[in-house]
Structure 1
Amino acid sequence: MKHSYRIIIFSIAFIFISCDDGKKDNNTSDNVATDISIPFEKHTLDNGLTVIFHEDKSDPVVAVALTAHVGSAREKEGKTGFAHLFEHLLFLESENLGKGGLDAMSARIGGSGANGSTSRDVTNYYQTVPKDALEKMIWAEADKLGYFINTVTEPVLAKEKQVVKNEKRQSVDNNAYGHESYVIGKNLYPEGHPYNWQVIGSLEDLQNASLQDVKDFYNDWYTPNNAVLTIAGDFDKTQALQWVKKYFGEIKRGKEVKKAQVKPIELTASKKLFYEDNFAQTPRLNLTWPTVVNYHKDSYALDILGTYLSRGKKAPLNQIVIETDKVADQARAYHYTSELAGQFSIVARAYDNVDLDSVYESVYKALKQFEENGISQNDLDRIKTKKETEFYQGLSSVLGKGFQLTQYEILAGDAGFLSEDVKNMQAVTVEDVQNAYNIYIKDKSYVMTSFVPKGQTELAIVNSKEAKVKEEKIIEGAEESFDTSVAATYERSPSSFDRSIEPEYGAAPTLEVPSVYQDKLDSGLKVLGIEDNEIPLVQLQLDVKGGMLFEEIEKTGVSNMLAQLMNKGTMNRTPAQLEEAIEQLGASISVRASDESLSVNASSLSRNYNKVMSLVSEILLEPRWDKDEFELLKKQTISRIQQQKASPRAIASNEFDKLIFGKDHILAQNNLGTEKSVANITLEDLKDYYTKYITPQLASFKIVGAIDQKKVIESLQNINENWVKRDVTLPTISSFPELTAPQIYFYDVPNAKQSILTFGNATVTSDHEDFYKTQILNYRLGGGGFASQLTQELREGKGYTYGIRSAFNSSPKAGKFVINSGVRSNVTFESTALIKEILSNYGSSFTEDDMEVTKSYLIKSSARSFESQSAKLRMLTNIDENNLPVDYAIQRQEEVTSLNVNEMKRLINDYIKPDKMIYLIVGDKNTQFNKLEKLGLGKPILLN
């Protein structure tokens, strides 16, 4: 999310067209020529800024994205991580918005939250806001390019270095297989190649970066002629262009930026490396080959090759590695391209104690199978149809459309590259896929890594060399101190007008609640729907209440296993046949279980809706009960449970539920089960659960998309007539332990680079009359992102964490208030003490300004409430689960408006009780445990 270094992967746009030979299976997609386009206008200012407009009046929102053509590839060895560092810095302060001004404004205007991402090639800054705030956003974004760098001081830089290092600890150092990409990059790309290092850079380079280094990098790359401003949504293009010229026009042009040129990567021999991973519970194998750049003619065939090799029952990797040889629970192949190079990877996560040489042999057999059989025309068509659906899903928001245009403009050289992209994908043949394999994969050199658990180097590929990875040591007081309250002194950048004056709002959008239809069928099945014709897609969700609530503790995991098995074929279709039928329609259908429900989820092209519903009916009413699939699922589930033991965050989540609900409460259990309970589950247990509890009386069907109510009801007739009613009610759950005093617990993960903090208590359910009020009171505490006190104090003020949030997470059966954060290990005590202090003072310190910001955000952000199909589906779920009226969003606006500070203080005192909370820390006991007793939260209890 915000300030992360994740790489944005843009959809590959294409339309699939096929000829009808007169032999059409009942579940074949109605593939027809479709005219897909993203209309846009392009302007170039005198200073070189490229401006792209896409008008979309479907929702009263507008997305604004500023993208600089600078990523880690523009850095130099020894000075890595600068692009990602600027992704952070550019949000903090500018000459005209002031310190924290962008985040404060985002809260006031009801924005989605100023966000960013960095890749090898570009850095993005983006936000979706109500349309009345467009001029404000243009004003704010202009400051990033012209009125920012003077505000960066030594204390600001020192603090943000800590935040970035915390992000690296969270995403890399404290995760199983976290260093895999680093090892591959160092060995796939030669020294000096701009992809040799990681986007996030090294901790050492970040620490050594001087203020002048940082300013020089900014002045070189963050210039109008190296940036694209994209605006998409409901706005007036003529007025918007005037604003862009006003705020961006007088920013000076930078140096001319030459297109980077790098020779294709060639490996003269394969490289084999291993690494003992502190967090891995099972070994993992990775093979990576060098390939081609974005939009190269072979990149399309390689993309399809990756999908074919690993996705689905028929995929060679699945057939051999997972199902026949049973050496891994996961095997996938994918092609990843960038501006200067590409790479093709196969990754297989082995079962516990499996030798990776046997995994490699299995992968090799799967590749040999592909060499012999290739890909069929039917499979090629199936993959293309699926990608059409995925493309539409990428365009479901104005931000998605804006990103697509920007991607084409920067990396393809033309925002209108869509038609060429379409043609390239359409043109891929079965011969192209085979040729791509022969050119880039078959008998070619690769980088192979073996990541194995500590002390299990014997599981690595033979003759592998140890990979060099520099691990951070946990040292008390190692981080430098800083004072971010020191104001920067500088001479303001000149401007022809007073830029410190924030623009006024435009005409305020009104909240328009989508029209909802409701019905109840003879079987007892409830139906809720919204017709939405913006894109030719349908999303649906059929929920059956129950989940773990019907399980016995010694057999936890039954509902999850049942959901997984329902995905594996039907009475009349093998797992492979079912999967192929779904993919031929370009659809996705999946069954999954949560703590309190089992759900069937599907999305499809609207033209294929009836055929998709026919398959949904089969899956729901005609389970296959495949014994071989059941045994494989058991093995995979046990492996997933083992993998969770490698994740400090998963450990924290599982242990926290036991502490607040009571270890013997059904809702305290992991819905995957335990290794012991899963081993005890039989196929008869699943059949028994299905027969007793999967019933329409406990079910609801929610649908959003380009389909009308009449067709929806007609599509449900088979389910309505053939789904057996059963006399069953939800069980009453037992009460939770009542906390009368705080208690601190510790779970030891040796050498953890971060401590995972999880604090909170049981609270109101989602259908309680005060539930929405808890959401309101939490906004300024920890639910408002950078507008929240927890973030401002622990991240912005102290640099202790990359992120922290608080939330009231509730369902109709249970609720919990939770604070989550990963903090650097050597400030575990200080972070816990500061959170406790903030909680204790939150009610007494809540001000009129806090009230005003909360109201402004919650009321104005409602303009974004129903933009996507997913958002509309969540709306229907809220109505169904919590017995809310269709216009509950409007009623909530009225509720927010009527609140005052005194009422908020009462609510805070009722629901935020730091003296009656569980404080759980998952971290390194050796360095952090002993001092925790000084917190005054009771004597720490060690859980393991």
Structure 2
Amino acid sequence: MKKWILAVAISAALMGCANDTPRETVLPEGVTLIENVKVADSEIGIAYKKYQLANGLTVILHQDTSDPLVHVDVTYHVGSARELAGRSGFAHLFEHMMFQGSQNVADEQHFKVVTEAGGTLNGTTNSDRTNYFETVPSNQLEKMLWLESDRMGFFLPALTSEKFEVQRETVKNERAQRIDNRPYGRMSERFAQALYPAGHPYSWPVIGWPEDLDRATLDDVKHFFQRWYGPNNATLTIGGDFDELQTLAWVNQYFADIPAGPAVQAPSKIPVTLNESRYISMEDKVHLPLLYIGMPTVHAGHPDEAPLDLLANIIGGGKTSLLYKNLVKDGYAVQSSVSHPCQELACQFTLYALANPAMGGKLADLETKIDESIAEFEQRGVTDDDLQKVKVQFEADTIFGMQSVRGKVSTLAANQTFYDNPNMVASDLARYSKVTKADVMRVFNTYIKGKPRVVMSVVPEGQTQLVAKEDNFTPVPLAVAKDAVTGLTEVKQDNELKQVSSSFDRSKMPQAGKAPQLNVPELWTATLSNGIEVMATQSHETPTVELVIYLEGGHRSAPIDKAGLAQLTAQMMNESSSKRSAEELANALEMLGSTINFDSGKSQAYVQVSSLTKNLAATLEIVNERLFSPAFNAADFERVKQQQLQNLQHLMSDPNYLASNGFSALLYGKSTAMGSSNLGTIESLNAITLEDVKAFYQQQYTAGNAKMVLVSDLAKQQVLPMLETFSQWQGKASPIAPINKRLYAAPATIYLIDKPGAAQSVINIGRRSLSYDATGEYFKATLMNYPLGGAFNSRINLNLREDKGYTYGARSSFQGQKDSGEFLASASVRSDVTGAALTEFINEIRHYQQAGMSADELAFLRNSITQGQALDYETPRQKASFIRRIQRYQLDNQFTQQQTEIINSITLDELNSLAASQLDIDSMLFLVVGDKQTIEPQLKTLGYPIEIIEQP
């Protein structure tokens, strides 16, 4: 990969991105080179070549040999904005359908083939595009092109009504899990109805309205595919370590004979205006009232997009913003933010605040405070620092976004899809760099000041007195469009679809090439003068530094009657120092494009630092200031404590949190650190004083507890002297109490937490199990679990999701720590099938325990896990996680090679023996969080004792 040198001016980067025409190369027939963009070492950008096939498919190739992997992305210029009134959800439903097999790829095989190849895959849909992508070892590229081309050109012959019905249920489950069963989940779709005119393509949710999904037919799905999924409406982008000419030959072979679809025009921009402010409200199962305000602005790529982004940052972007000062700092809100999200057709300027119930929680008061903050901005204007820090942040975000080949491929694909120009990195940097104070004030006056807006109040059930203002808007019902699509000039009949032919035999899956050489990071170690161990690696991919300081202890070091103390102390470390206020420190970090975050988990606290290399020394000075000179101001303490209390009460309305916390309490006992939330309880948080925080700081933040992990483009001799700034750190290691081995709950019992009105039930099944090891019984148990619930095409997921349609996803895993571990199987399922889903879980686990895996499943896990190692160390954060594992568990640097040897040599008998010993269903607990009235009658038929657990 090219080197990055960031000292150059952005204007120089713009001039340097030349579209050079290479010496004539013999290309496959029908393949045309459109442009060749090179990027010099002194520039910020992504080098690529852009081609087009005769059928209209755009192909973008970006070579990156830093890791032995490739990322393949196919983006179709179709999202929910192409849908019609009453026909919502088609684009997203179709994303699901595209994983269900095609003419030459069997049912459920897409996930299996990619996973067995050691890769990862997914698809996403938004309002404006749908994309499908895989990251795989580089020797698997041809196979990915075969898969993607088969579903682009040969999908419909394999489409059946049975597949359609299962995926329709899966989408409904996804909606229930992500929207209906989540606090504030329905807010965005309600807000969009009010902000956009009736019939505007952004006025309905991407996932679709349930009634629209119900009225969809199999023919509608076929027509949607025929209209939008032609190669002329797609961009194929490939990034990574590949041979260019060979890749072009494969692309031409697999995609060239797919006929073009109907012509597709870029959608017209649809300006949005409001004649008057609209007020809407919604009651929800939440604790914190939320105010959400939005105003229509421009569209993505508009000249005013950049100054509006800067304006949003100034008014509500973090601790240096006006909203933070006036709402959060003063205690009126627990959280607030301003953003300017942009889509292809329209953007919106949005402000939100979560009210602090301790201050009354009235959203009208918050609206007043927001208006006062906007008026303060008008009086204050724009400062030089405002402009500089936002521009630095944009530059840093751009660079950090290119740490993975997927990040670069996604950037190229999006820019091609929406602007017909992949080469926009430098021009985007330039347009933000050129924003002036006058530009920001102009867009403020044009789009924000005094403009009508949508104001949405979300309040706890039964507390309508908290809404900002009485509702004055009701959505206009729309007539249902007769057809699901328009512009489909020729509808192919079923008999035509079954006769799709190709110029070669597509039924044979390509063989993988020679396995690539794995690039396991080369590590170096050092010990600072005060004994702190450092483990690190040098990575040349981007001029960035990831530093993580780990401190053993965390929640387990705090007394149980002060649960939440470790988290509260960590958050106080993010506040003021004795030298500067939290706002001054935040401003200094923003001017550097750096982040420093103190946090705490069950068994360790940590400090995560991300910095551009050129700003590392200045960033470390701020780390030192926060680490060694915390102010522990009383005002900061009261605010942070109140935020943690309110956050905890908010999470208690989330069924997933209730399930996770409740299951830990059953396994370890709610009066123990392992069995309680690191956020604490209402009682324990109320009991914590500022003196407790100061005392815990002295106990936790010592050199004896600390170790460091570093990933940087600097060599050891360059970066190690910078770390000596931590040599002043003193203090011994703190003891951690051992985990009690006692059992706290009866096995083979269903524990039920009532969540009245819940759209889904969260099921957790499991028991205490093996602690972590890298090459022993725990590691082998993770292998054993892989076919049961560790992969997408595992037995559990295929049964509950694909066969039964009970859930959006089901899984199982072994989760090991230093001195504890659990086996956990889980899913969120439809309330009406809770009992049936639990039965299927039990049957699958019991059958697997008794009969074990098959030889085919063993071969699958061997291929998948060993080849997947090529993806494990790509980004700096992945490298840091890998290094931390070696450091924390004192592993051999070559432990992955030992794991590979185990995977290749372990026998079916050994794995099945582990299943027999570790998966006894009668030794497991069953926890269900859901609507007791709906699900208890179902659970009673299963024959297990049922105990009701009261919410804390």
Residue 207 of structure 2 is aligned to residue 200 of structure 1:
yes
The aligned counterpart of 2:307 is 301
Task: Give secondary structure in 2 for the equivalent of 1:929.
Answer: helix
Residue identity in the other structure for 1:69: H
User: Is residue 647 of structure 2 the alignment partner of residue 640 of structure 1?
Assistant: yes
**CA deviation map 1:530-563 (0-9, x unaligned):** 1101111111100010011121111111111110
Asked if 1:390 is matched to 2:397, the reply is yes
> Is the Cα–Cα contact under 8 Å of residues 15 and 388 in structure 1 kept in the other structure?
no
Q: Secondary structure, in 3 states, of the residue corresponding to 2:602?
A: coil
Structure 2 unaligned runs (5+)?
1-5, 12-40, 478-493
Q: 1:735 Cα deviation (Å)?
A: 2.1
Q: Please, which of 564, 587, 608 is the counterpart of residue 580 of structure 1?
A: 587
**Residue by residue, what CA displacement relative to the aligned partner does 1:268-305 show, whole Å, maximum 9, x if unpaired?**
1110011111x211211011100111111110111122
> Which is worse superposed, 774-783 or 792-801?
774-783
Aligned to 2:68: 60
| Distance in structure 2 (CA, Å) of the matches to 1:349 and 1:331 | 6
Tell me if 1:415 matches 2:431: no
Counterparts of 1:469 and 1:779 in 2: how far apart (Å)?
A: 50
The structural deviation recorded for 1:18 is: 9.3
Equivalent positions of 1:170-189 (< 5 A) are 170-189=177-196
Q: What is the correspondence of 1:768-787 to structure 2 with a 5 Å cutoff?
A: 769-784=776-791, 786-787=792-793
Aligned residue type for 2:300? N
The alpha-carbon distance between structure 1 residues 621 and 350, as it changes in their structure 2 partners (threshold 3 A), is same
Instruction: Return the offset for 1:810.
Output: 2.1
Q: For residue 149 of structure 1, report the CA deviation from its aligned partner.
A: 1.4
Contact 2:666 2:744 in 1 (8 A): no
CA shift, 1:911, in A, is 1.7
Aligned pair partner of 1:36 in 40, 44, 59: 44
Measure, in 2, the Cα distance between the counterparts of 1:877 and 1:379: 37
1:256-295 matched pairs, under 5 angstroms: 256-277=263-284, 279-295=285-301
Aligned equivalent of 1:662, options 646, 662, 669? 669
What code does the residue aligned with 1:348 have?
A
* 2:752 match: 746
Residues 330-371 of structure 1, C-alpha deviation per residue, up to 9 Å, x if partnerless?
111101111111111001111225111011111111111111
Mapped contact 1:637–1:672 kept (Cα < 8 A):
yes
Provide the rounded CA distance (Å) in 1 between the counterparts of 2:220 and 2:769. 49
Q: Distance in 2 between matches of 1:541 and 1:935?
A: 48
Which residue pairs with 1:832 in the alignment?
Answer: 838
Asked if the contact 2:8–2:43 (Cα under 8 Å) also holds between the matched residues in 1, the reply is no
DSSP-derived class of the 2:520 partner: coil
Contact 1:274 1:467 in 2 (8 A): no
Opposite residue 383 of structure 2, the aligned amino acid is S
Equivalence for 2:355: 350
Q: Say whether residues 1:610 and 2:617 are aligned partners.
A: yes
Shift of 1:15: 9.5
Kindly provide the CA deviation profile for residues 502-533 of structure 1, in whole angstroms up to 9, marking residues without a partner as x.
01111210223111111223322110001101
Counterpart among 71, 75, 80 of residue 83 in structure 2: 75
Residue in structure 1 matched with residue 929 of structure 2 by the alignment: 922
Q: Any residues of structure 2 matched to 1:807-818 within 5 Å, and which? A: 807-818=813-824
Give, in whole Å, the separation in 1 of the partners of 2:269 and 2:608: 44
2:676 maps to a residue whose letter is Q
Where do 1:194-593 residues align within 5 Å? 194-277=201-284, 279-324=285-330, 326-352=331-357, 353-465=360-472, 491-593=498-600
Which position in structure 1 is the counterpart of 2:872?
865
1:748-773 alpha-carbon deviations (Å, 9 max, x no partner)? 11111100111111111124732211
Shift of residue 418 of structure 1?
2.6
Moved more, 213-222 or 802-811: 802-811
Matched position secondary structure for 1:731: coil
CA distance in 2, matches of 1:491, 1:311: 55
Counterpart AA for 1:891: Q
State whether structure 2 residue 56 is matched by structure 1 residue 48: yes
How far off is 1:394 after superposition? 1.0
In structure 2, how many angstroms separate the alpha carbons of the residues matched to 1:723 and 1:867? 32
Q: Distance in 2 between matches of 1:209 and 1:15?
A: 55
Is residue 911 of structure 1 aligned with residue 918 of structure 2?
yes
Q: Which moved more, 1:518-527 or 1:295-304?
A: 518-527
The alignment of Structure 1 onto Structure 2 pairs a total of residues equal to 899
Q: Take 1:776 and 1:699, find their aligned partners in 2: how far apart are those partners? A: 32
Give the secondary structure class of the aligned counterpart of 2:148.
helix
Q: How does 1:686-701 map to 2 (within 5 A)?
A: 686-701=693-708
Q: Offset at 1:581?
A: 1.5
Shift of 1:265: 0.6
Report the Cα offset of residue 49 of structure 1.
0.3
Task: Tell me the CA shift for residue 736 of structure 1.
Answer: 3.9
Structure 1 letter corresponding to 2:215:
N
SS at match of 2:391: helix
Bigger shift: residues 252-261 or 610-619: 610-619
- Deviation of 1:453 (Å): 0.8
Q: Distance in 2 between matches of 1:301 and 1:545?
A: 44
Instruction: Return the alpha-carbon distance in structure 1 between the equivalents of residues 50 and 100 of structure 2.
Output: 30
Q: Is the 8 A contact 1:16 1:426 kept in 2?
A: no
Partner of 2:30: none
- Following superposition, the deviation at residue 80 of structure 1 comes to 0.7
- Note if contact 2:10-2:429 (Cα within 8 Å) is conserved in structure 1: no
Gaps of 5+ in 1: 1-13, 20-32, 471-486
Give me the identity figure in percent.
Answer: 34
| Counterpart Cα distance in 1 of 2:881 and 2:396 | 20
Letter in 2 for 1:45: L
Cα distance between partner residues in 2 of 1:897 and 1:98 = 27
Aligned twin of 1:29: none
Name the amino acid aligned to 1:934: T
TM-score (norm 1): 0.93
Relative to 1, partners in 2 of residues 1:267 and 1:465: Cα closer, same or farther, differing over 3 Å? closer
Q: Distance in 2 between matches of 1:492 and 1:448?
A: 54
Q: Deviations over 1:857-886 (max 9, x none)?
A: 011001111111111001111111211111
2:67/2:519 contact within 8 Å kept: no
Counterpart residue type for residue 672 of structure 1:
L
Q: Distance in 2 between matches of 1:72 and 1:53?
A: 28
- Asked if 2 retains the 8 angstrom alpha-carbon contact of 1:110 and 1:859, the reply is yes
The residue number in structure 2 matching 1:804 is: 810
Q: Is the CA contact 1:40–1:52 (under 8 Å) kept in the aligned structure 2?
A: yes
Per the TM alignment, residue 492 of structure 1 is displaced from its structure 2 partner at its CA by 4.2
Q: CA deviation at 1:568?
A: 0.8
1:790 maps to 796
What secondary structure does 2:674 align onto? Answer: helix
Query: Would the alpha carbon gap of residues 438 and 16 (structure 1) be closer, same or farther in structure 2, given more than 3 Å must change?
Result: farther
Bigger Cα displacement from structure 2, 809-818 vs 532-541? 809-818
Who is 1:852 aligned against? 859
Amino acid at match of 2:826: N
Of 162, 168, 177 in structure 1, the residue corresponding to residue 175 of structure 2 is: 168
Counterparts of 1:461 and 1:558 in 2: how far apart (Å)? 35
Note the alpha carbon deviations across 1:166-190, whole angstroms, 9 max, x for none: 0011111111111111111111111
Question: Match of 1:105, as an amino acid?
Answer: V
Q: What secondary structure sits across from 1:444 in the alignment? A: coil
The verdict on how the C-alpha distance between 1:624 and 1:711 changes in structure 2, with shifts beyond 3 A counting, is farther
Distance of aligned partners of 1:741 and 1:188 in 2 relative to their CA distance in 1, 3 Å threshold: closer
Q: Is the 8 A contact 1:660 1:761 kept in 2?
A: yes
Aligned 8 A contact 1:739 1:916 in 2: no
Could you list the per-position Cα deviations for residues 889-936 of structure 1 after superposition, in whole angstroms to 9, with x for gaps in the alignment?
Answer: 111111111111101101112222211111111111111112312223
CA-based RMSD: 2.0
- Paired position in structure 2 for 1:673: 680
Q: Give the Å deviation of 1:625.
A: 1.2
> Whole-Å Cα distance in 1 between the matches of residues 924 and 345 of structure 2?
52
Aligned partners of 1:233, 1:586: CA distance in 2, in Å? 27
CA contact (8 A) 1:531 1:705 kept: yes
